[in-house]
Amino acid sequence: MNEQLQLPPPQARSQMFIGIAFLLTLLVVLVIGTVKLVDWLDDEQQAPVQKIVISGERKFIDDQQVERLVRESQPGSFFELDVAQTHHDIEALPWVYRASVRKRWPNGLEIYVVEQLPAARWNDDSLLNQHGEVFDGIAIANQAQLVLPSLFGPGGSEQTALQGYRDMQSLLEVADLHITELFLSERFAWNLHLGNGIKLNLGRSEFIDRLQRFVDVFPLISSQEKAVDYVDLRYDTGLAVGWLSVQNTAPTKTKQRES
């Protein structure tokens, strides 16, 4: 007995063709979508940083300089940008004390900066921050006409000089005096120039005690008719005063001792 091949009815064949067409269409859509997704991801990876946001209290940091530094040192895409290197480059700027850097999806960069706090001029060519660390901000300080004490000393004595200035200025404030210049020699001898023009020679040892001696006798010295040029305090008990002559500027010297 011969068996005959049974073909599906026309309606079933039509549904089968529709299903195959749907699957083929879906496959084409998936392929096209995948290609577009790959192209989009490739474009995103090549896209540079579009937005740089700088925050933090700042007075002397130039935002344009920071942004220019980032774009010149990291010209690649958002994904290629090296956050650690960018952080290092920003902290190398003179007026930046500390910085933090992070990416912000999809194409932004956030930078937070802590500005240097200048405490004094150092050797006329740089500045000291509040921790006695040297930084190269003298040009901006001069341009802004910052009123800062001038400290002078050998390399490596920055923190010693700044702490000495603070201790002595605190003592002089009782007499309404202020230090404009401080000199620390190679042998660590202290000399001061005060805002009223008086120069103080304190020597190396017991300079705080010697300065206290000056503060104690300052009312007596300042009550004299002659102007004081300098006071030499390198004595165990007493001091020497150099007076400015009225006729000329040559100082005359008087030594005073404690009773």
pLDDT per residue as tens digits for the range 107-142: 899 999 999 999 999 999 999 999 999 999 999 999
d(CA 191, CA 229): 13
Domain segments of the chain: what residues? 51-115, 118-256
d(CA 50, CA 108): 6
Mean pLDDT across 165-189: 98
Q: How many other CB atoms sit within 10 Å of the CB of residue 165?
A: 23
pLDDT over 90, % of the chain? 68
- Lookup: tokens for 134: 């040297």
Q: Which of 75-84, 158-167, 174-183 has the lowest mean pLDDT?
A: 75-84
CA angle 115, 118, 119 (to 5 degrees): 145
Q: Which of 45-49, 177-181, 189-193 has the lowest mean pLDDT?
A: 45-49
Mean pLDDT across 88-101: 97
Q: Tell me, what DSSP letter sits at residue 187? A: T
Fold of 51-115: Ubiquitin-like (UB roll) (3.10.20)
> Do residues 232 and 211 make contact, with C-beta atoms less than 8 angstroms apart?
no
- pLDDT of 68 over the 50 cut: yes
pLDDT per residue as tens digits for the range 196-224: 999 999 999 999 999 999 999 999 999 99
Average per-residue pLDDT for the chain: 88
Question: What is the H or E stretch that residue 74 is in?
Answer: none
pLDDT at position 21 is: 76
pLDDT at position 19 is: 76
pLDDT over 70, % of the chain? 84
pTM, two decimals, is 0.78
Q: Tell me, what DSSP letter sits at residue 77? A: B
Res. 257 pLDDT band, cuts 50 70 90? very low
Domain pair 51-115 / 118-256, same fold? no
pLDDT per residue as tens digits for the range 47-58: 678 899 999 999
- pLDDT of 245 over the 80 cut: no
CATH number for the segment(s) 118-256? 3.40.50.11690
Question: What is the H or E stretch that residue 205 is in?
Answer: none
pLDDT per residue as tens digits for the range 4-49: 555 566 666 677 777 777 787 888 778 776 766 555 555 545 567 8
pLDDT at position 171 is: 98
> Do residues 50 and 107 make contact, with C-beta atoms less than 8 angstroms apart?
yes
